[in-house]
Structure 1
Amino acid sequence: MEGKFFLEAIEKNDSSVIKTIYEQSFYAIKQFVLQNKGNSEDAEDVFQKALLQIAVRLKKEKFEIKSSFEGFLYTVCRNLWRRELNIRKNRVTNNEVVEQVSEERDTALSYLEIKKQELFVEKLGMLSENCRNILNLFFAKMPYAEILATTEYSSETVIRQRVFKCKKKLTELIRGDVRYMKLKAV
Structure 2
Amino acid sequence: MNNLLHIERDQELLQGLAIDDDKSLKAIYLENFPMIARMVQQHNGSEDDAKDVFQEAMIILYEKVQEGDFVLSSRLKTFLYAVCRRLWMKKLQGAYREGPLAAETEDSIPVEDTLEAHAEKDLQFRKMEESMGKIGEPCKTILEDYYIHRKSMQEIAERFGYTNAENAKNQKYKCLMRLKKLFFAQQ
Specify the TM-score bucket, using the shorter chain as the normaliser. 0.5 to 0.7
2:172 alignment partner in structure 1: 163
CA drift at 1:46: 7.9
- SS for the counterpart of 1:172 is helix
1:57 alignment partner in structure 2: 74
| Residues 1:58 and 1:31: Cα distance change in structure 2 (over 3 Å) | closer
| Residues 1:19 and 1:175: Cα distance change in structure 2 (over 3 Å) | same
CA drift at 1:156: 1.5
Structure 2: unaligned runs, 5 residues or longer: 62-71, 82-98
CA offsets, 1:145-172, max 9 Å, x none?
Answer: 3333433333211211111110111112
1:152 aligns with 2:161: yes
| Residues 1:146 and 1:8: Cα distance change in structure 2 (over 3 Å) | farther
Once the two structures are superposed, the pairs formed by residues 1-186 of structure 1 within 5 Å of their partners are 6-12=9-15, 14=17, 16-21=22-27, 24=30, 39-41=46-48, 43-44=50-51, 56-58=73-75, 94-95=100-101, 97=103, 99-100=105-106, 101-140=109-148, 141-177=150-186, 179=187
Q: Which amino acid aligns with 1:12?
A: Q
Q: What do you get for the CA RMSD once the two structures are aligned?
A: 4.2
CA drift at 1:42: 6.1
Pick the structure with greater CA Rg. 2
CA drift at 1:20: 2.0
Structure 1: unaligned runs, 5 residues or longer: 60-72, 78-92, 180-186
| Residues 1:131 and 1:95: Cα distance change in structure 2 (over 3 Å) | closer
Question: Under a length normalisation based on structure 1, what TM-score does the superposition of the two structures give?
Answer: 0.55
Q: Distance in 2 between matches of 1:35 and 1:151?
A: 39
Question: Under a length normalisation based on structure 2, what TM-score does the superposition of the two structures give?
Answer: 0.55
CA drift at 1:129: 1.7
| Residues 1:151 and 1:42: Cα distance change in structure 2 (over 3 Å) | farther
Q: Distance in 1 between matches of 2:147 and 2:163?
A: 21
Q: Which amino acid aligns with 1:124?
A: M
Report if aligned partners of 1:30, 1:43 keep a CA contact under 8 Å in 2.
Answer: yes
Q: Which amino acid aligns with 1:158?
A: N
Q: Which has the higher contact order (CA 8 A, sep 6+)?
A: 1
Q: Distance in 1 between matches of 2:147 and 2:32?
A: 22
| Residues 1:114 and 1:143: Cα distance change in structure 2 (over 3 Å) | same
CA offsets, 1:103-151, max 9 Å, x none?
Answer: 3222221111111111111112111221111111112122223333433
1:65 alignment partner in structure 2: none
Among all aligned residue pairs of Structure 1 and Structure 2, give the percentage whose two residues are the same amino acid: 14
